[in-house]
Structure 1
Amino acid sequence: MRFYDSLGPNPQVVRTFAAEKGIALARVPVDIMAGENRSEAFRAINPLGQMPALQLDDGTVVTEVTAICELLEDLHPQPALIGTNAVERAETRMWVRRFDLALLEPFMLGFRATLARSFFAPRMPLLSEAAGQEMMAHWAERLRFFDALLAGRRFVCGDRFSLADIPLGAFLRFAPAAGVSLPADLDWIPGWLDRLAARGTFDA
């Protein structure tokens, strides 16, 4: 397998997931700052020009971080990061979907249209800057909602660390580094981020 890797939270999700499972991926760096992911050569791998991508030994290419992680879970079931039974797997997927729709998508739409506008404007259609600011405000509001909803848990799925922790953790670790401050009135998330950092796999 060849893992097309780059800067950014999405590739970090796969690197962390693989590290938690002890999987060594053959990494192929892609320079997104130079637009290599938009090149004809990379679009032959992923026509959407998005990162990351996993190319299997038979040439099959899988993109989208959740799909890649699901594949790695199927190929390497232990330790189980999606779940050991149908109920656990459903719970994990429920939280992943909630975060995708309510937090990660608004964050990226808002971030690209505001703080990162000069970088993304030549590369893709963007919301207006005003709409981007609204998206960032919506993201912060929803983050406070989930912060309160998850109070008292060790991880998103209770005591069970899972895929549900990884994408949100990767994005919330990325945000301050990209100039986006987390709301100051969060109660649960700061301690949760500390627990994720202590695992060491978010530095993979």
Structure 2
Amino acid sequence: MKLYQSLGPNPRVVLMYLAETGLSVEREFVDIMAAENRRPEFCVKSPLGHTPLLELDDGLCIVESIAICEYLDETAAGHKLLGATAEERARTRMLVRIIDQLVVVPMTAGFRGAEGLPMFESRLLCLPGAAADLKRLAAYGLAEVDKIVGAGQWVAGDRFSLADIILYSFVEFGAMVGQPLDPALTNLAAWRDRVAARPSAAASANPQLGIGEPA
């Protein structure tokens, strides 16, 4: 297998997943700043130019961070971060879906319509006129997720999961692109500090680390 990785919160999700599980996958860095992900040879593998991308030994390509992590969890990691039972896996997928819809989608769209506009306006449909409202929507989503986390240790309660990795990757991304976590969200602030203390948080911070060799 080979993982095509790049800058960005979605690639970080997979890198953090690998660090948590200890799985080793060959890696190749794709420079999205230079639009390498838009080149014809890459778009053969990922028609929309999305990263990260996991290419299996038989040539099948899996794009999207959640799908990649779920595939690895089911085939190589023994359900380590989705859950040991059908019920745990269903809860993890539920939480991932909530975070994706309430936080990830509006946060990234808000960024592309504002700070990221010079890079993305020639590549994707961007909504600069809606950027401020999209950021407000992401902030609202984080406040809703703060209610879910509550006083628990992790998003799913006492079990660290893929939901924590996705949420952390985008909370950190938001802090870098003008969408910082509201300090009034004390549950998420405490949760964020707990995740940041995990070795996988530091290990996934530099997406160019370990290029061309297993993690």
TM-score interval (norm. to shorter): over 0.9
Q: What's the offset of the Cα at 1:122? A: 1.4
Give the secondary structure class of the aligned counterpart of 1:188: helix
Question: Kindly, what percent of the aligned residue pairs are identical?
Answer: 41
Using the alignment, how far apart are the partners of 1:164 and 1:158 within structure 2? 11
Matched, 1:99 2:99: yes
Matching residue of 1:166: 165
Give the secondary structure class of the aligned counterpart of 2:186: coil
Structure 2's unaligned 5+ residue stretches are 205-215
Using the alignment, how far apart are the partners of 1:82 and 1:136 within structure 2? 29
Instruction: Note if contact 1:196-1:202 (Cα within 8 Å) is conserved in structure 2.
Output: yes
What is the identity, as a one-letter code, of the residue corresponding to 1:178? V
Matching residue of 1:190: 189
- Listed as ranges, the matches of 1:1-204 within 5 Å are 1-78=1-78, 80-127=80-127, 129-203=128-202, 204=204
- TM-score, reference length from structure 2: 0.91
Deviation above 6 Å: which 4+ runs of structure 1? none
Q: Alignment length, in residue pairs?
A: 203
Give the secondary structure class of the aligned counterpart of 1:130: helix
What is the identity, as a one-letter code, of the residue corresponding to 1:188? N
The CA deviation string for residues 110-132 of structure 1, in whole angstroms up to 9 with x for no partner, is 110012111111111111x2311
Instruction: Note if contact 1:21-1:78 (Cα within 8 Å) is conserved in structure 2.
Output: no
Using the alignment, how far apart are the partners of 1:38 and 1:115 within structure 2? 20
Structure 1's unaligned 5+ residue stretches are none
Using the alignment, how far apart are the partners of 1:136 and 1:179 within structure 2? 9
